[in-house]
């Protein structure tokens, strides 16, 4: 049975375009573009997300995420594996029905590091992700992602055609 928390994450399902803007600690900026695809898994108890980006000055960036709700600790877990070598288990809770707050603490490049991630569902067709990193007590990069829902032309074309006939 699908939990309320996973049901709220269900807004993520489907195909998305992704725009990335990042501010590095030295003041430089990075931009990237790509796609994300989210699908249900484990009989609607979780979600899998694949992100594929092309980032200026960095090239290809891939991220694969598993999302689930731990019914005993009452937290969403967001397990992420990236092509930059990061492997993190973020956890957090819903602030309200459209805002998910997640946190990770561990080591990155041998230094104590934290990531605070706020995901805001800005309607049915847009998701905003804001991530603030700290490393060894110092400000790290800040990432802002905007995901916009891609239309499934196979499904929407008959609807548009029927509207044109009317």
On average, the pLDDT of the chain sits at: 90
How high is the pLDDT of residue 105? 97
Q: Above pLDDT 90, what percent of the chain?
A: 76
Average pLDDT over residues 130-156: 88
Q: Above pLDDT 70, what percent of the chain?
A: 90
The model's confidence at residue 24, banded by pLDDT at 50, 70 and 90, is very high
What's domain 4-165's superfamily in CATH? Calycin beta-barrel core domain (2.40.128.20)
Whole-model pTM: value is: 0.87
The model's confidence at residue 34, banded by pLDDT at 50, 70 and 90, is very high
Looking at mean pLDDT, say which of 8-12, 45-49, 113-117 comes out highest: 113-117
Contacting residues for 93 by C-beta, under 8 A, at least 6 apart: 74, 75, 76, 100, 101
How high is the pLDDT of residue 6? 83
The model's confidence at residue 153, banded by pLDDT at 50, 70 and 90, is low
How far is it between the farthest Cα atoms of the chain? 63
- 6, 44 contact by CB (below 8 A): yes
- 145, 19 contact by CB (below 8 A): yes
How high is the pLDDT of residue 45? 86
- pLDDT at position 87 over 90: yes
CA distance 78 to 89: 6
Sequence ranges of the domains in the chain? 4-165
- pLDDT at position 154 over 80: no
Secondary structure (3-state) at 53:
strand
């Amino acid at each position: 049975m699908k939990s309320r928390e996973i049901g709220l994450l269900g807004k993520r399902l489907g195909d998305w375009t992704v725009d990335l803007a990042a501010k590095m600690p030295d003041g430089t900026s990075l931009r990237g573009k790509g796609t994300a695809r989210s699908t249900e898994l484990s009989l609607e108890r979780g979600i899998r997300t694949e992100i594929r980006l092309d980032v200026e000055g960095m090239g290809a960036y891939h991220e694969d995420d598993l999302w689930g709700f731990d019914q005993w600790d009452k937290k969403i877990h967001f397990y992420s594996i990236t092509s930059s070598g990061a492997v993190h288990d973020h956890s957090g809770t819903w602030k309200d029905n459209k805002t998910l707050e997640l946190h990770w603490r561990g080591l990155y490049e041998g230094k104590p590091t934290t990531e605070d991630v706020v995901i805001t569902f800005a309607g049915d067709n847009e998701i905003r992700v804001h991530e603030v990193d700290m490393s060894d007590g110092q400000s790290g990069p800040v990432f802002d992602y905007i995901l916009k829902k891609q239309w499934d032309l196979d499904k929407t074309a008959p609807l548009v055609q029927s509207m044109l006939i009317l």
